[in-house]
Structure 1
Amino acid sequence: MRLISTTSAVATLLFLVVILPSIQLTEAQIGVCNGRLGNNLPSEEDVVSLYKSRGITRMRIYDPNQRTLQAVRGSNIGLIVDVPKRDLRSLGSDAGAASRWVQNNVVPYASNIRYIAVGNEIMPNDAEAGSIVPAMQNVQNALRSANLAGRIKVSTAIKSDLVANFPPSKGVFTSSSYMNPIVNFLKNNNSPLLANIYPYFSFIGTPSMRLDYALFTSPNAQVNDNGLQYQNVFDALVDTVYAALAKAGAPNVPIVVSESGWPSAGGNAASFSNAGTYYKGLIGHVKQGTPLKKGQAIEAYLFAMFDENQKGGGIENNFGLFTPNKQPKYQLNFNN
């Protein structure tokens, strides 16, 4: 940003921070995903109060829950708001439906919304796969009509299964026919790719992997990739996605880590100790960037705020940072 005077610079900065919180800042930001698949969770208003009291300034929600949106409005909490799976086909096939969705769920809360995630972990063979790009484009057009396209970015959240090969520099999307149109949309609209990054699943799926490499506690690098040294799996997974983006013609599309977590129970290596170590390590690491993008701070969303007892069972119920009665499971400093 070009500065023309000290006074105008200060005024511009205050405008960006106070009025336009959806514009990306350069420092690392830690958010927490607010899943609601539980029958014993606090009210939406209490959840937002807990975010505020803990200094958590980013939240992801998986549908445009009106009570959550209303509770967040006027706060300094920036949001990722998902278009849920059930709405993808209608928004992809009907520009009017996308316009109504934006008018109802985005426009009244625009000062808090940073990203719209059009689908979460939709895979190429899913019935909704063909609706992703049309829905992204229709939502983008609706934002443009509402004069919000420059502030709120449209993307989709992918799972790391869509990226193959090792080491990270060999990363490539497993389905170019599915991902290339998505990547082109992101590049053309200056939007980031949302990526769900889970070293836990890499660890349990790789018998030879050391636990400390997955938990940010390895004392030294475990992978040398053409001179880039990888001391943790998180960096390797993120850089694999960056390599895939580059091969798809979009080396400058940034990545926002839209989910990352470790379960405290229910499976191999799932424990309070390991989960607490992982979350603390991730919070402390995001400022550094990755070996491929050294010094480029990462915006990352921890999964999830609460244990959710209506999920699939096993580890799925045990990713919470807090118990449903709002007690912290780990001692974390979200502003670290």
Structure 2
Amino acid sequence: MLSLNMMFCSFFLWLLLFFSSLFSHVSGDKAFSGTYGVNYGRIADNLPSPESVVTLLKAAKIKNIRIYDVDHQVLRAFKGSGIEIVVGLGNEFLKDMSVGEDRAMSWVKENVQPFLPGTKIRGIAVGNEILGGTDMELWQVLLPAAKNVYNALSKLGLDKNVQVSSPNSEAVFANSFPPSSCTFKEDVLPYMKPLLQFFSQIGTPFFINAYPFLAYKNDPQHIDLNYALFLKNPGIYDAKTKLHYSNMFEAQVDAAYAALEKVGFDKMDVIVSETGWASHGDESEAGATIKNARTYNLNLRKRLLKKKGTPYRPKKVVRAYVFALFNENLKPGPTSERNFGLFKADGSIAYDIGFTGLVPSSATSSFLSFKAVGSSCMMMALLLYFL
């Protein structure tokens, strides 16, 4: 007859497996199996080691991250962690990648294939915020580069598990208010439509970097701060769709859906590849405070964990990567650029939204309360949880 402890252990493991299977397929997007991810930027000289970052992410139960390069030390550190990672092919490599598939093949063989399957590389972001940017030459090479990277993955048999994408900024839109009026800029369309056609064929969502913070910072006189922060407010009404929006984040997502619909891609999913709020800024940067950053990121996290859609696409679960994991002290630009982190450079929390900082006890404190379950049971549970 099983002891009470063994029976509890078995039941605990069963529950873990059940909920793991239940939530591991929230959406069909192979690069993002959850709803909440974080961008792990590293333009800094004072950050914790990648190994420590893995510990931090596990303690916070963050299972989806994006990086902006293919740093081998980072990729090795994530081996066996179970954390799903999207790597970046930097803008500086696009011209070279567009020239021929052989160059893309060499890049994939050097920076992606050797780390699979131990490191769960789920996607490659080809460039970042290219269309709508100032370098027109990059506009022209983006699609050929993306195709060559995808073809390299396909020939290596990796295309089923590694997605090719390319995040966009709000600069690709001519307007986005109200959401239903959103359209792509005329000069962007000749490049955007073929790119969307390709991504539609290979099953890639539309990735948008959506920042209510930037909208508010640029026009604090006309934008309700509460509307930007998910707080109680009158909201806005879209007369065309007869939909009400209580927060800017959902309005920005639906604006992207409206723009896609107008060019024939109404079935394409939208994923927010970056969003966040600065905790500190220059005197001219309205809203950049710790209080506002905490409010936005806390409410955003609650919103994403509900696994709900938007007013315009109620059946499409909203997914987003928060920018960013750490404050990055070497980022150029205004002060806000260096203060988007959920965590400070020493691994402590920048403000409290429910995560544990990287302190001596953080790696174990989350698990100590389960000691009564039995050490062998807990080890098995942890292995299963992070697989």
TM-score, normalised by the number of residues in structure 2: 0.78
Q: Which residue of 1 aligns with 2:346?
A: 325
The structure 1 segments of at least 4 consecutive aligned residues displaced by more than 6 Å after TM superposition are none
Q: Which residue of 1 aligns with 2:161?
A: 151
Match of residue 216, structure 2, among 200, 203, 214: 203
Contact 2:31 2:163 in 1 (8 A): no
Which one has a bigger Cα radius of gyration?
2
Match of residue 91, structure 1, among 74, 88, 97: 97
Once residues 316 and 72 of structure 2 are traced to their aligned partners in structure 1, the CA distance between those partners, rounded to angstroms, is: 34
Q: Do structure 1's residue 180 and structure 2's residue 187 form an aligned pair?
A: no
Q: Which residue of 2 aligns with 1:215?
A: 229
Q: Which residue of 2 aligns with 1:168?
A: 179
Q: How many pairs align?
A: 321
Q: Do structure 1's residue 230 and structure 2's residue 250 form an aligned pair?
A: no
Task: State the SS of the aligned residue for 1:158.
Answer: coil
Deviations 1:47-84 (A, max 9, x none): 12211121111111000011111111222211111100
Once residues 34 and 23 of structure 1 are traced to their aligned partners in structure 2, the CA distance between those partners, rounded to angstroms, is: 19
Q: Which moved more, 1:110-119 or 1:32-41?
A: 110-119
Q: Which residue of 1 aligns with 2:264?
A: 249
Q: Which residue of 2 aligns with 1:118?
A: 126
Q: Which residue of 1 aligns with 2:360?
A: none
Q: Which residue of 1 aligns with 2:311?
A: 291
Shift of 1:202: 1.1
Task: State the SS of the aligned residue for 1:157.
Answer: coil
Once residues 194 and 115 of structure 1 are traced to their aligned partners in structure 2, the CA distance between those partners, rounded to angstroms, is: 12
Q: Do structure 1's residue 301 and structure 2's residue 321 form an aligned pair?
A: yes
Letter of the 2:73 partner, please give it.
Answer: R
Q: Which residue of 2 aligns with 1:6?
A: none
TM-score, normalised by the number of residues in structure 1: 0.90
Letter of the 1:196 partner, please give it.
Answer: N
Shift of 1:30: 0.9
Distance 1:25 1:260, change over 3 A: closer
Q: Percent identity?
A: 36
Q: CA RMSD in A?
A: 2.3
Letter of the 1:90 partner, please give it.
Answer: D
Residue correspondence of structure 1 range 56-75 to structure 2 within 5 A:
56-75=62-81
Task: State the SS of the aligned residue for 2:301.
Answer: helix
Task: State the SS of the aligned residue for 1:229.
Answer: strand
Contact 1:35 1:62 in 2 (8 A): yes
Once residues 29 and 111 of structure 2 are traced to their aligned partners in structure 1, the CA distance between those partners, rounded to angstroms, is: 15
Q: Which residue of 2 aligns with 1:3?
A: none
Q: Which residue of 2 aligns with 1:128?
A: 138
Contact 2:97 2:104 in 1 (8 A): yes
Shift of 1:22: 7.8
Contact 1:30 1:334 in 2 (8 A): no
Once residues 243 and 152 of structure 2 are traced to their aligned partners in structure 1, the CA distance between those partners, rounded to angstroms, is: 42
Once residues 24 and 316 of structure 2 are traced to their aligned partners in structure 1, the CA distance between those partners, rounded to angstroms, is: 20
